[in-house]
């Protein structure tokens, strides 16, 4: 959430938002920074780096630096809530 939102992000994110295939319905559509980060991760997993501006690529690189911590936290939450099949 500490990632900056730039005025150019809306324009830069449009090609990504059009091409990304979301495999799960979005739950946080009213939080712009969460939507941006989600689209960046989806685009990364779908190898759509060519659609990213240099600024968005830097944002993705920053997200990926924290990916191990984020994944571990998600697994801990799933285990605490007994969501073993997620």
Mean pLDDT score, 12-35: 85
Structure confidence at residue 61 (pLDDT):
96
Structure confidence at residue 1 (pLDDT):
59
Which pTM was predicted? 0.79
CA distance 43 to 1: 18
Cα–Cα distances in Å, from 29 out to 47, 58, 65, 72, 75? 23, 23, 24, 24, 23
Cα–Cα distances in Å, from 17 out to 59, 69, 78, 85? 16, 26, 28, 28
Mean pLDDT score, 13-24: 90
Spatial contact of 42 and 20, defined as CB atoms under 8 Å apart: yes
Structure confidence at residue 85 (pLDDT):
67
Structure confidence at residue 86 (pLDDT):
56
pLDDT digits (tens, 9 = 90+) for 33-83: 888 998 999 999 999 999 999 999 999 999 999 999 988 998 898 888 887
Indicate whether 84 pLDDT > 80.
Answer: no
Considering only CA atoms, which of 6, 2, 1 is closest in space to residue 56?
Answer: 6
CA distance 41 to 2: 16
């Amino acid at each position: 959430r500490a990632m900056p939102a730039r005025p150019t992000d809306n324009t830069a994110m449009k090609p990504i938002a059009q091409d990304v295939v979301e495999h799960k319905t979005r739950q946080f559509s009213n939080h712009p920074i969460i939507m941006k980060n989600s689209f960046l991760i989806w685009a990364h997993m779908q190898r759509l780096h060519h659609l990213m501006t240099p600024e968005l690529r830097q944002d993705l690189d920053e997200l990926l630096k924290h990916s191990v911590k984020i994944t571990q936290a998600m697994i801990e939450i799933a285990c605490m809530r007994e969501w073993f099949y997620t």
